[in-house]
Structure 1
Amino acid sequence: MARKKSLKGLGARYGIKIRKEYTKIHFQLKEKRPCPECGSAKFGRVAVGIWECRKCGFKVAGTAYGVKV
């Protein structure tokens, strides 16, 4: 069984529950998403709540950690 990659930087601090939640949100932010306009996989977060396609320039406001288009 393969282990999920853990994040470095938190070490043994803050407790396991917070580290697991941090890891879950971090991987959710970094996953590749298709652009709703052009379909390319270059759709990502620019700032909190602002998502943009790096190919076509399409911008949309969404939630802080994900976008529902």
Structure 2
Amino acid sequence: MAKKKSMKGLGARYGIKPRKQYTQVHLMLKEKRTCPDCGSKKLSREAVGIWKCQKCGFKIAGTAYDVKL
């Protein structure tokens, strides 16, 4: 079975283009990232532009939806 895209937040509203953009941002936000300090896959977004490793507590500033190392 194919991987199901995440368009649940908008339903059938707003048209196809905003729903595709929402899905793209949502999937990018939820993907697993590696910590540059300890190498674990526990880096998650704490606030807009602030990313924190759950394992070692390392904080890094990035963009709103992604980390550019």
Query: Matched residue pairs, number?
Result: 69
User: 2:22 — aligned with what?
Assistant: 22
One-letter amino acid of the structure 2 residue matched with residue 47 of structure 1:
A
Instruction: Find the aligned partners of 1:55 and 1:13 in 2 and give their Cα distance.
Output: 39
Kindly state the Cα deviation for residue 8 of structure 1 after the two structures are TM-superposed: 1.0
Cα displacement string for residues 18-52 of structure 1 (whole angstroms, at most 9, x for unaligned residues) = 00000000000000000000000000100000000
> Which is further off, 39-48 or 4-13?
4-13
Kindly state the Cα deviation for residue 68 of structure 1 after the two structures are TM-superposed: 1.1
Instruction: Find the aligned partners of 1:63 and 1:6 in 2 and give their Cα distance.
Output: 21
List gaps (5 residues or longer) in structure 2: none
The 1:56/1:5 distance shift into structure 2, 3 A limit, reads same
Over 4 Å off, 4+ runs: none
User: 1:64 — aligned with what?
Assistant: 64
Kindly state the Cα deviation for residue 66 of structure 1 after the two structures are TM-superposed: 0.5
- For the Cα contact (< 8 Å) 2:43–2:52, is it kept in 1? yes
* TM-score (ref. length: structure 1): 0.91
User: 1:49 — aligned with what?
Assistant: 49
